Amino acid sequence: MSPRGGSFPAGRDGSQAPGQALGIYTLTSDRIRHLPEEEAERKERVAEDGRSARYREIYEDLGLRVVARPEGSLEASWRRCYVDEMLV
């Protein structure tokens, strides 16, 4: 229930459309849509690509470099950063 007393959240201006109250939503198995395997894999790849891009951007901003070697080892390097003439 919303703080304004209705069972449906009010709009930004505080108004509520008549007949739009949803009440309690009952989740049943016929209301669940299972994604095909290909679509689920695509969504996972898109999410992973987004995370990878964010990490690459952060690493770049910090001057970090990480290399994964084929034998499983990691090589990490970084550069010195100057912030307001102070060595960080």
d(CA 87, CA 76): 20
Helix (H, G, I), strand (E, B) or coil at 56: helix
Instruction: Please report where in the chains the tokens 């999410």 appear, as a residue.
Output: 47
Helices (H) and strands (E) in the chain, counts: 1, 4
Identify whether the C-beta of residue 74 lies closer than 8 Å to the C-beta of residue 68.
Answer: yes
d(CA 54, CA 15): 39
Give the pTM: 0.47
pLDDT digits (tens, 9 = 90+) for 4-62: 444 555 555 655 556 656 667 788 888 888 889 999 999 999 999 999 999 989 888 88
d(CA 32, CA 1): 24
What is the model's pLDDT at position 20? 59
CA angle 18, 19, 22 (to 5 degrees): 125
